[in-house]
Amino acid sequence: MNSPLLSAHQKADDGQGKLLRGLGDHLPQPRDFDDWHWLTQLNQAGVVAFGIRHFRSHAPYCMGMVVWQLNDCWPVVSWSAVDVDGRRKPLWYALREAYADRILVVRDGAVYAVNDGPQIWAGPLCMARRSLSGTMLAEAELPVDCAPRSVTRIEVPVELTVPDDRTRELLVAELGGRRVVEFYAEDTEVAFPCADLTAHVDPLGPGEADGYRVTVDAHTLVRDLALFPDRLDSAAEADRALVTLLPGEQATFEVTGARLDDPSALRSRPVLR
């Protein structure tokens, strides 16, 4: 990360230092180049998505925001969501989620249902405070009736807002197929278990694009799961990223545009993070 080539493409004043300082208390400091590449992109995705979700929860006081920037026009370290060769960074996927018509935002002791769609968003809001191992510690279910193009605030019961141990618990809120997982402490404070997961790779079926289906089963909590298939084939891309799984849950990624000599490489670092 301090190579002369990369430095020549780093145009911000003390840009490399800012990237590392920007990790702050949010994420650990990198141990090697692959960590640096992953953690700085994860930090970028997290901070931009956090801001967008926060602003959207304040509608109609705030009715929009401008994101800088979509793409690069040359190889450079930047705020872009898409690199100069058209590869999608984690930020691209985070933007797609943060700008979905319907999102849930947790802040200030409440859950905000943000409905930018043309239909009423109604149903039970299911909330649960869980241990990192998945054990239910407290739960609540409250009715929600959110009008089109509006935001509804739902007060969270105190037994869900105050954890017994902020480093070993999380909050899950779900409404109509949308889910948000929030932690009570910064990632560097949370007592995450070593991620235990099983990944299976299968070729996409006849009539589908060249590529693979990667199925991941989480045996522990898995935070911000992402695939970087372009590390194996520059034309390859995954259909999703930054997926958080609770113990026992499963996620499937579709990798397209790839023909690999060793598809099993999709299951390990630095491709699977």
Note down pLDDT in tens along the chain; length 273 residues: 888 988 898 889 999 999 999 999 999 999 999 999 999 999 999 999 999 999 999 999 999 888 889 999 999 999 999 999 999 999 999 999 999 999 999 999 999 999 999 999 999 999 999 999 999 999 999 999 999 999 999 999 999 999 999 999 999 999 999 999 999 999 999 999 999 999 999 999 887 778 999 999 999 999 999 999 999 999 999 999 999 999 999 999 999 998 899 999 999 999 999
pLDDT of residue 62: 94
Distances (CA, A) of 259 to 57, 121, 150, 185, 253: 42, 42, 45, 41, 16
Answer yes or no: CATH 3.40.50.1220 is held by domain 102-183. Answer: no
pLDDT of residue 55: 97
Q: Are 103 and 178 in contact (CB under 8 A)?
A: yes
pLDDT of residue 143: 97
pLDDT of residue 68: 87
pLDDT of residue 1: 83
Positions of CATH 2.60.40.10 in the chain? 102-183
Question: pTM to 2 decimals?
Answer: 0.95
CA 88 – CA 170 distance, rounded (Å):
29
| Residue 227 neighbours by CB distance under 10 Å | 25
φ, ψ at 25 (rounded to 5°): -90, 0
pLDDT of residue 232: 95
pLDDT of residue 97: 97
Q: Across-strand partners of 150?
A: 115
Strands (E), 132-196: 136-146, 150-155, 169-175, 178-183
